[in-house]
Amino acid sequence: MVRRTKEDALSTRNDLLDAAERLFSERGVATTSMMQVAEAAGVTRGAIYHHFENKLDLIESLMDRVKLPVDEMFEELAKSIPDDPLGQLKHRCLKIVKQVQDDQHTQALINILFHKCEYIDDVLPIHQRHLHGRNACIDECEKLIEHAIEKGQVSQNVKPRETVIGMFSLIDGLMYNWLLDRDYFNLEQVAKTSLDRYCASLAD
């Protein structure tokens, strides 16, 4: 089993990414060795070091494959002129939740970020990327809240920044706990009612 065509090489690379995603998500990043990833992909470590520099590069490539829900949300927010800003916001948040619930790759990645990798210097680049997209998204959502205030959808007493942080934290917490035990509650359902209540209280 030696050199194959370029398509085969790309397939090998994808197999490696698939294996890494699965193993990292199941057993954790630090405890999974390069050899285990290679074995799971049916190749040797040589294949990994040919396609990726090291473990960190492998992880970063994992992140490149999947568009995180916050990034997608950010893009959609940018190109929409909100007629119903608060509804928009709620809808986008639920979409994030839904993507984590339904899309396997997204779920695996978020699971890794939440539960399967330590937040330390070595893996910080990927967290940085996540947080960066997140903060940009928070800024955008903050503007939505401000619009909602102007439109009278939301009370003038609410502080936009804190409100968004609260919303995102609620979503984060729900996903965090749901990923710990996916049978404990229905993510989408609880997210919907929780968000509804949270938003309703903003009218004050």
Partner DNA sequence: ATCTTTACATACATACATGCATGTTTGATT
Partner DNA sequence: AATCAAACATGCATGTATGTATGTAAAGAT
Residue numbers at the binding site for a copy of itself (CB under 8 A): 27-31, 115-122, 131, 159, 161-162, 165-166, 168-174, 176-177, 180, 184-185, 189-190, 193-194, 197-198, 200-202
CA distance 192 to 97: 9
The residue (of 38 and 202) whose beta carbon lies closer to a copy of itself is 202
Out of a copy of itself, DNA, none, what residue 12 binds, judged by CB under 5 to 8 A for its kind, is: DNA
Among candidate residues 182, 186, 66, the one with its CA nearest the CA of residue 129: 66
**Residue 28 DSSP one-character state:** -
In Å, how far are 77, 80, 121, 143, 152 from 83, measured between CA atoms?
A: 12, 9, 42, 13, 12
- 3-state SS class at 59: helix
The answer to the question of residue 50 lying near DNA (CB under 7 A) is yes
Return the range that interacts with DNA (CB under 7 A); candidates 41-49, 63-71, 159-167, 181-189.
Answer: 41-49
Q: How far is the CB of 46 from a copy of itself (least distance, A)?
A: 26
Are the C-beta atoms of 144 and 77 separated by less than 8 Å? yes
Binding site residues, DNA, CB under 7 A? 1-6, 8-9, 12-13, 33-35, 38, 43-47, 49-51, 54-55
